[in-house]
Amino acid sequence: MSSSTKIYCLFLPLILVSLAGLAFATLLLGNFIYVTLTGHGYYGLEAYVVVAVMYLASVPVLFFTWRKYRLEISRVKIIGIARGYDRVTLDEMSRMSSRPASLVNDVLYAAIASGDLAGTIQGNTFMRAAPTKGGVAVEREVMVTRKAPEKCYKCGASINPKEMEWVGPDSVRCPHCGATLAVKTERI
């Protein structure tokens, strides 16, 4: 599930409840206006107290829902920026995300602590850790063979592998002219 889907799943029920409360309060307010203008019907004070309570209850819910939504959007944006760079300063991330540096700092520490982001913060710089695939590094031996050239590049003489002299792990000496020749390494 993507981050934006999580955000909408988290906040959609709260928004719907708040909007339903506003709709109900608006309906009662509309009835109050109708009764006041036409003189038909009667609503006691209790109905209007309910309208006032619904309005007052839904406004803070909408405010805090919107605030939490904005913080989650900021979190997703900051983590996305951090994942895009191997090394980036918090000031640069603040500028790119249009968020205060203190929020960037808090989001990065929380993301590192929760495991959402791999890296470290040293001073004013975030350094991303090399991604791991969840596995363990395994050392293995690889079989190789070294193949000397069949002819010398300098004198053109054929080289017998039994007569050549090794002068290093990747080079041999021509027995005819003494030139140093590179050896090819191939996996078996």
C-alpha to C-alpha distance for 1 and 99, rounded to whole angstroms: 25
Residue 3 has a pLDDT of 54
Give the three-class secondary structure for 4: helix
Same domain? For 21 and 109 the reply is yes
Residue 46 pLDDT greater than 70, yes or no = no
55 or 121: which leads in pLDDT? 121
Give the pairing type, strands 119-122 and 125-128: antiparallel
The pLDDT of 49-62, averaged and rounded, is: 68
The pLDDT > 70 percentage for the chain reads 60
For residue 137, is it within any domain? no
The amino acid that residue 150 corresponds to is E
Residue 120 has a pLDDT of 87
Domain span holding position 75: 3-128
Asked if residues 180 and 164 have their Cβ atoms less than 8 Å apart, the reply is no
Same domain? For 81 and 29 the reply is yes
Same domain? For 105 and 173 the reply is no
Give the three-class secondary structure for 17: helix
C-alpha to C-alpha distance for 129 and 122, rounded to whole angstroms: 12
**Residue-averaged pLDDT of the chain:** 76
- Annotate 28-49 with b (16+ C-beta within 10 A) or e (fewer): bbeeeeeeeeeeeeeeeeeeee
Same domain? For 153 and 83 the reply is no
For residue 174, is it within any domain? yes
Of 128, 153, 174, the residue that ends a domain is 128
C-alpha to C-alpha distance for 21 and 15, rounded to whole angstroms: 10
- Annotate 56-73 with b (16+ C-beta within 10 A) or e (fewer): eebeebbeebeeebeebe
Same domain? For 71 and 97 the reply is yes
DSSP per position, 82-108? HHT-SEEEHHHHHHHHTS-HHHHHHHH
In this prediction, residue 70 has a pLDDT band, given cuts at 50, 70 and 90, of confident
Residue 117 has a pLDDT of 85
111: CATH? 1.10.10.10
Same domain? For 107 and 165 the reply is no
Q: What pLDDT digit, counting tens, does each position of 128-144 carry?
A: 887 555 555 555 666 77
Same domain? For 101 and 43 the reply is yes
Residue 114 pLDDT greater than 70, yes or no = yes
Residue 49 has a pLDDT of 66
Same domain? For 86 and 168 the reply is no
For residue 172, is it within any domain? yes
Same domain? For 14 and 102 the reply is yes
Residue 150 has a pLDDT of 86
For residue 124, is it within any domain? yes
Same domain? For 36 and 79 the reply is yes
- Give the chain's domain count: 2
Same domain? For 121 and 77 the reply is yes
